[in-house]
């Protein structure tokens, strides 16, 4: 392949990533009235209070005076660490101060769109390091995530999930770079900062940061390019960064609520229909797992056409089946090669354990009376996307083309359903024309990505 063709392909790949990062999230931001979901006003209020140099308190409610959508009776996002809200504050605060409450929320949504683009680049980097011999794996992984249900919805709403996926993905990316013996100082700094970002974004990411620190130490003592002293330096630096950046906040949670997570299970039991359940009961509940794995198809209101309204078959076809095939193919490939076999197996185990840790934290959250939303599993996708993409790249990426056609069709139907919702109470405006423009941008990004992938040289050894 000539240098000119290589440069053109590289440019097209960046164009595809940016269009995918913008398209779906922007479409949802335009289709869903601001503050129409239960938590969005509370998240924007948190950023507004940070803008004024304060941290919210659960019992004191919201300072944001939104008159449309949902206005929560208490500040039920006060338990979250403040990183997202520090990023949002300069965009939300001035508009809210000027009395443009709806504009403040929309500005927050545009910040989330920008974070969505960054997340796709992080996933691309992970996939390239995880499966370096597979041509196009980075772009294919980003394409899959960019068309997923919760990438679109969370990227177009003010929630912590997109940032949680981004910081955990960056920490894993730094771990992979360290394992490959890249630039130790730079990667150690990135690893420490990303682990601190995990702790400053979500309590549920603390075990993931600890897992990565343990994994880097283990890898440092296996045959491979990572030296033990660099591994220990990275782990210690991450631990120091986590403690220095976030310990104060979790101590504050304990002082205010009696627990580090900052939850209020008694209030939830009294004021919502959610009740505590035994952990084993939640673990064995098929409905919990069916709901939480709705990452590539989801129930909508109004319902989708009859053939599409049940998410489970699409979850099996678009998610579970290719993921299982990809994992088996990757393990078989690792076992065939002796070079750095132990390191590669530890990395695979780390990715799967990270997903397991996220699942366990959400099981415990739900067992304690918390809600069970599929978006809580979205943070798993950066770790799983490369394995999901692997078999879809076989046969000159024709399976990926079929997968993309199905998923974009479902996405269009989901967006149409969002536009057709009938919400109770006063609501902000929504914008159908910009919504469909955003959808078109996402389709254009997916089409460009497929064009790059179908024409790529074939290297598909996992």
Q: What angle do CA 312, 155, 381 make, to 5 degrees?
A: 50
Q: What size, in residues, is the chain?
A: 462
Q: What are the residue boundaries of the structural domains of the chain, listed by start?
A: 3-258+276-296+309-454
Give the pair of three-digit tokens for residue 349: 């185990």
Tens of pLDDT, residue by residue over 118-160, are 999 999 999 999 999 999 999 999 999 999 999 999 999 999 9
Phi, psi values for residue 459, rounded to 5°:
-140, 105
Per-residue confidence (pLDDT) for residue 158, from 0 to 100: 98
Buried b or exposed e, range 217-226, using 16+ CB within 10 angstroms: bbbbebebeb
Average pLDDT, the chain: 92
Phi, psi values for residue 398, rounded to 5°:
-65, -40
Mean pLDDT throughout 310-323? Answer: 88
Rounded-to-integer distance, Cα 173 and Cα 241, Å:
17
Per-residue confidence (pLDDT) for residue 338, from 0 to 100: 80
The structure tokens 């996708």 sit at 381
Residue 458 has pLDDT above 80, yes or no: no
Chain centroid, CA 221 distance in Å: 31
For 8, how many CA atoms within 13 A lie in the half-sphere containing its CB?
Answer: 10
Higher-scoring residue by pLDDT: 162, 275: 162
Tens of pLDDT, residue by residue over 83-112, are 999 999 999 999 999 999 999 999 999 999
If you write DSSP's letter for every residue of 217-239 in order, what string do you get?
Answer: HHHHTSSSSS-HHHHHHHHHHHH
Residue 449: pLDDT band (50, 70, 90) is very high
Residue 264 has pLDDT above 80, yes or no: no
What is the 8-class DSSP label of residue 318? Answer: I
Higher-scoring residue by pLDDT: 276, 194: 194
Q: What are 134's strand-pairing partners? A: 460
Give the pair of three-digit tokens for residue 44: 């924007």
Higher-scoring residue by pLDDT: 339, 179: 179
Per-residue confidence (pLDDT) for residue 300, from 0 to 100: 65
Phi, psi values for residue 134, rounded to 5°:
-100, 110
Phi, psi values for residue 460, rounded to 5°:
-125, 25
Helical axes 398-419 vs 3-31, angle rounded to 10°? 20
pTM assigned to the model: 0.95
Tens of pLDDT, residue by residue over 171-198, are 999 999 999 987 789 999 999 999 999 9
Range picked from 167-171, 312-316, 335-339 for highest mean pLDDT: 167-171
Q: What angle do CA 386, 395, 132 make, to 5 degrees?
A: 35
Per-residue confidence (pLDDT) for residue 408, from 0 to 100: 96
């Amino acid at each position: 392949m000539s240098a000119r063709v290589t440069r053109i392909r590289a440019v097209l790949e960046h164009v595809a990533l940016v269009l995918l990062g913008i398209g779906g999230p922007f479409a949802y931001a335009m289709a869903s009235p601001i503050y129409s979901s239960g938590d969005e006003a509370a998240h924007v209020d948190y950023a507004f209070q940070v803008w004024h140099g304060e941290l919210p308190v659960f019992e004191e409610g919201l300072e944001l005076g939104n008159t449309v959508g949902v206005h929560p009776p208490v500040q039920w996002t006060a338990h979250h660490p403040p990183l997202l809200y520090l990023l949002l504050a300069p965009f939300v605060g001035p508009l809210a101060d000027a009395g443009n409450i709806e504009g403040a929320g929309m500005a927050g949504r545009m910040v989330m769109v920008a974070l969505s683009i960054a997340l796709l680049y992080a996933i691309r980097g992970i996939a390239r390091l995880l499966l370096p011999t597979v041509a196009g794996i980075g772009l294919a992984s980003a394409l899959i995530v960019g068309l997923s249900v919760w990438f679109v919805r969370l990227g177009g709403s003010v929630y912590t999930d997109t940032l949680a996926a981004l910081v955990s993905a960056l920490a894993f990316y730094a771990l992979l770079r360290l394992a490959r013996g890249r630039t130790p100082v730079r990667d150690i700094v990135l690893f420490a900062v990303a682990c601190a970002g995990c702790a400053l974004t979500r309590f549920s990411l603390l075990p993931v940061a600890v897992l990565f620190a343990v994994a880097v130490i283990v890898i440092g003592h296996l045959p491979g390019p990572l030296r033990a002293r660099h591994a220990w330096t990275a782990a210690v630096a991450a631990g120091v960064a986590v403690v220095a950046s976030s310990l104060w906040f979790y101590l504050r949670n304990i002082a205010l609520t009696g627990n580090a997570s900052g939850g209020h299970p008694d209030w939830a039991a009294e004021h919502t229909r959610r009740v505590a359940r035994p952990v084993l009961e939640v673990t064995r509940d098929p409905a919990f797992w069916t709901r939480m794995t709705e990452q590539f198809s989801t129930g909508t209101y109004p319902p989708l056409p009859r053939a599409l309204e049940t998410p489970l078959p699409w979850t099996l076809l678009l998610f579970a089946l290719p993921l299982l095939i990809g994992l088996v193919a990757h393990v078989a490939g690792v076992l065939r090669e002796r070079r750095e076999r132990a390191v590669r197996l530890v990395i695979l185990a780390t990715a799967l354990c990270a997903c397991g840790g996220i699942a366990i934290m959400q099981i415990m959250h739900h067992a304690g009376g918390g809600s069970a939303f599929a978006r809580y599993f979205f943070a798993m996708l950066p770790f799983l996307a490369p394995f999901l993409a692997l078999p879809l790249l076989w046969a000159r990426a024709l399976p990926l083309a079929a997968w993309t056609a199905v998923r974009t069709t479902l996405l269009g139907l989901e967006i149409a359903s969002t536009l057709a919702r009938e919400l109770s109470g006063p609501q902000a405006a929504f914008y159908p024309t910009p919504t469909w423009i955003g959808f078109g941008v996402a389709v254009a990004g997916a089409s460009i990505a497929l064009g790059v992938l179908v024409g790529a040289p074939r290297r598909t050894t996992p």
